[in-house]
Structure 1
């Protein structure tokens, strides 16, 4: 079996696409800080999403959690009532199987001290399994939703674009250059948190506004540390508050389907709303009381962000978390090529930050790709682990930035304490441990992090680490000279034949020093052999 080593694109474009069935109905439910929203849609074989119905009901999760740290019993029962009503709607669409319905909860439930009790109560009462997603998963889903819009307009490819969504509990920011993610971060600064700040101060509106602007300025300063302001020429705003503003101001619709709002006009509307109390906002704009309480702070956050980057215009996208979830379900949760590329680019940028040996890291990553694909019958890992192994390979030596002694441990530390776009905390832990075990030491029950994993995760780490050791040994010379690998199993040995190579002494020595883990894991020793052609 011959698997050739391809160019750089081979690392960044890996993975296939699993075609969905012709048409299937699905539903997604988003349990947020201020409301529970549901979308029902049909997913077509082409990947097209046809929206059938949407529902939204206000809840007080954020109010409870952001002030007390727990979800009140009454609020839990309020959520049960809402979700039971959604269940009845789902039954009308004949949606009942777990693979047809995805329910996620974001910042409010994620931060609550009784989130397990909340999840158990919802499951007991409704049969719905609530998945509490972290910031990285929210960023990934948001990117899936907004990506088609950004690719439809060439101006987003020419200049940097700031994508901002101010939710009830947090503000999510993506910075893209040529539609590639350059920066991704979620901040604990949401409209409901800002509202809590307002209620904590019995001061004049001028003082309250100053307090709000000060909090927002801190976030903007943190973003500016990672972004060149002069390169940002576009801002895309997500969220219901900005869609409300676009409706009020009648923004111009671009050919990409997004509305364009003038920042000065948005600021005028924001000032008007901040000068009104909740009763007057509800009466004037015919919105709910929960929305009225958070509208002003949210719009002020968008205005401040746009002004800090000296932008005159904001693009308002009719995209939300549920759109991204539906897109994700249309692909059966498979990591599409573009998303994989974004994750790999994020890893490469992190490596450059720590002055990694980029040529060696990329080559080891490509060797890992070849080994992963060529030894599928041995490792039986899901395709997504190929991406995790690639990232671990790219970053396995970044610990040298701290020092050569124990650098594999430093690599793990840096990985665990850095931002990698689109990867969950669990994914990052798996990557960090895989990098840690690329040298002589094998996993031990006493190792931090390893014991926190479940059995399947521990086994996946060991399998990936063994492949990473083998790939690293194959580039022991750091010369990137191996371009093809032939695999064959001879009894209890895996024979890797290498064409057009005369001397394998260095690779064989490296393999002798680190190859024990591969034999322990896969039950095969590895023999390197020169292939005569």
Structure 2
């Protein structure tokens, strides 16, 4: 029987709720997520005391969350409070009042724990060994140096989007950002290990609403709505351009920026400043936005310690997420694995006919493994459903552009392709689309080798001649004639010639 876990993150700006379901086959999925902006730290700087209005907003939201948790019959609740509660004079009283009103027992986590959970949420879902992690919340900013996937150093400074806006109210409108930037630079000067990273050019991974907004605005400007937010990448120049763009807009104009929440528009510039200054100090050249952070880190920690189903730090991020998806959607793993093996074999043996790189090989491998995932929705025309799921499922260790390319390989391998009718993704050129169709041919041929799903074809040897490519099929079953597989592969001969310029011949 499935068990359920709920995590509540009582932040300085927003309260987040996540509910996951853990199945008997050890797969897990998020079944509910909610976020409400309550600005608990609003007015906090006056006397380090949380004000009455934010407290009441938080209680109102948490009562709603409690009803949702009860509806889902959740076994375990992990509720944590962060910087605003931790740094306030009346934090304990606030949590006591919340418990009295909602019966939700909150634990105030330390700076170290907050940094650790954010790191855990990122390192298990972003395929990087060395990076600088910045988590800008409402009342604090955590910076963590990760080396070889382990925390090397961390620091928490008591300034985030809400209380920085209180200190620098001019950031709500068009303003010169020199004052707030100098203020943050002074704070960063007290971090000795940060100075040692000035020439490292390590990528920066950003979590927290303000940092994720960089990606949301960039995605909206380019109309790249098929791209997921997680693992979204921007260059340093793109980050600076968005920052400058916002600084030169009035509060009214900021509310009309696509990708920027109206609720966040008045605090966004102050919230973006720590990341902007971090870029200047470290000389980093790219930002990777993570959709996962503290809440997900707590979930991963609980999956390991409470449910005993996963290692604390995933050795292979992509493999772990694919295995989880396979279990969730009842994928025939034996068939998927065999098709993947055939795809990679064909890819290698046809290298003289293509110039694909290791990234292309990787997305072919993912598409081959997940090519049947759409059968969970509907076996008929399942390639279309597989393509959609690949773009939207939590597949980690791959950037969103490569996931879209992967989805097209899956879509193309079973559909008749007319080049002039391809959907236009502006980050994929027409030439790249045609290359994806060529890649999809490897998957098409591999699935045809497994037409009967009985593992009849043990191996395939490919010989490339001047005008033709010969596939020779081998089977361990001497009584099996392979005629079905030969017939199926022969159906791809016309398209194969169009894509690779050679006749396709199949023998045994």
TM-score range, shorter chain: 0.5 to 0.7
Residue 103, structure 1, aligned to residue 79, structure 2: yes
Gaps of 5+ in 2: 314-508
Cα deviation, residue 48, structure 1 = 4.9
Do 1:27 and 1:102's aligned partners in 2 also have CA atoms closer than 8 Å?
yes
Q: For residues 193-221 of structure 1, what are the alpha-carbon distances to aligned partners after superposition, in whole Å with 9 as ceiling and x for unaligned?
A: 22112128999822xx1111112212333
**Structure 1 268/287 Cα, relative in aligned 2: closer, same or farther at 3 Å?**
closer
8 Å CA contact retained: 1:149, 1:256: no
Change (3 A) 1:163 1:47: farther
Q: 1:181/1:286 Cα in 2 relative to 1: closer, same or farther (>3 Å)?
A: closer
What is the number of residues matched between the two proteins?
309
Question: SS in structure 2 opposite 1:231?
Answer: coil
TM-score by length of 2: 0.55
Aligned to 1:311: 284
The equivalent of 1:218 in structure 2 is: 186
* CA distance 1:232–1:203, shift in 2 (3 Å): closer
2:497 alignment counterpart: none
Aligned pair partner of 1:187 in 143, 149, 157:
157
Match of 1:260 in 2: 233
Residue-by-residue CA offset, 1:344-366 (whole Å, 9 max, x unaligned): xxxxxxxxxxxxxxxxxxxxxxx
Aligned partner of 2:273 in structure 1 is: 300
Structure 1: unaligned runs, 5 residues or longer? 1-21, 340-533
2:39 and 2:227 mapped to 1: Cα distance? Answer: 36
Partner SS state of residue 222, structure 1? coil
Answer whether contact 1:49 1:326 (CA < 8 A) is retained.
Answer: no
- Post-superposition CA distance 1:406-448 (Å, at most 9, x none): xxxxxxxxxxxxxxxxxxxxxxxxxxxxxxxxxxxxxxxxxxx
Aligned ranges for residues 369-518 of structure 1 at < 5 Å?
none
Paired residue for 1:283?
Answer: 256
TM-superposed CA distance for 1:257, in Å, is: 5.6
Match of 1:394 in 2: none
What secondary structure is seen at the aligned counterpart in 1 of 2:190?
Answer: helix
Alignment match, 2:59: 80
Report the 3-state secondary structure (helix = DSSP H, G, I; strand = E; otherwise coil) of the residue aligned with 1:205: coil
TM-score normalized by the length of structure 1:
0.53
Partner of 1:234: 203
**Counterpart position of 1:140:** 116
The separation in 1 between residues aligned to 2:239 and 2:12, in whole angstroms, is 24
- Who is 1:36 aligned against? 15
* Secondary structure of 2:4's aligned partner: strand
- State how far apart, in whole Å, the 1-side matches of 2:119 and 2:28 are: 16
Q: What does 1:151-230 align with in structure 2 at a 5 Å threshold?
A: 152=127, 156-157=128-129, 160-199=130-169, 205-206=175-176, 209-226=177-194, 227-230=196-199
Partner of 1:63, secondary structure, is coil
RMSD of Structure 2 on Structure 1 (CA): 3.2
Q: Is the 8 A contact 2:139 2:160 kept in 1?
A: yes
d(CA) in 1 for partners of 2:71, 2:229: 34
- Helix, strand or coil: the match of 1:230? coil
1:268 and 1:41, CA in 2 relative to 1: closer, same or farther beyond 3 A?
same
In structure 2, distance between residues paired with 1:331 and 1:28: 15
- SS for the counterpart of 2:180 is helix
Partner SS for 1:25: strand
State the match for 2:293 in structure 1: 320
Q: Distance in 1 between matches of 2:307 and 2:150?
A: 19
With over 3 angstroms needed to count, the CA separation of the structure-2 counterparts of 1:46 and 1:66, relative to structure 1, is farther
1:118 is matched with 94
Q: Which has the higher contact order (CA 8 A, sep 6+)?
A: 1
CA distance in 2, matches of 1:214, 1:64: 22
In the superposition, relative to structure 1, how do residues 141 and 45 fare at CA in structure 2: closer, same or farther (>3 Å)? farther
Sort the Cα spacing of 1:48 and 1:163 in 2 relative to 1 into closer, same or farther, 3 A.
farther
Give the distance between the partners of 1:201 and 1:180, measured in 2 at CA.
36
The residue correspondences of 1:20-35 to structure 2 (distance < 5 A) are 23-35=2-14
- The separation in 1 between residues aligned to 2:279 and 2:26, in whole angstroms, is 34
Indicate conservation of the 8 Å contact 2:8/2:17, yes or no: yes
- CA distance in structure 1 between the partners assigned to 2:172 and 2:160 by the alignment: 20
1:73 deviates by 2.6
Measured against aligned partners, the alpha-carbon deviations of 1:275-328 in whole angstroms (never above 9, x if no partner) come to 223332123337555411221122232122123222221111111211111112
Counterpart contact for 1:41–1:51, Cα < 8 Å: yes
SS of residue in 1 equivalent to 2:213 = helix
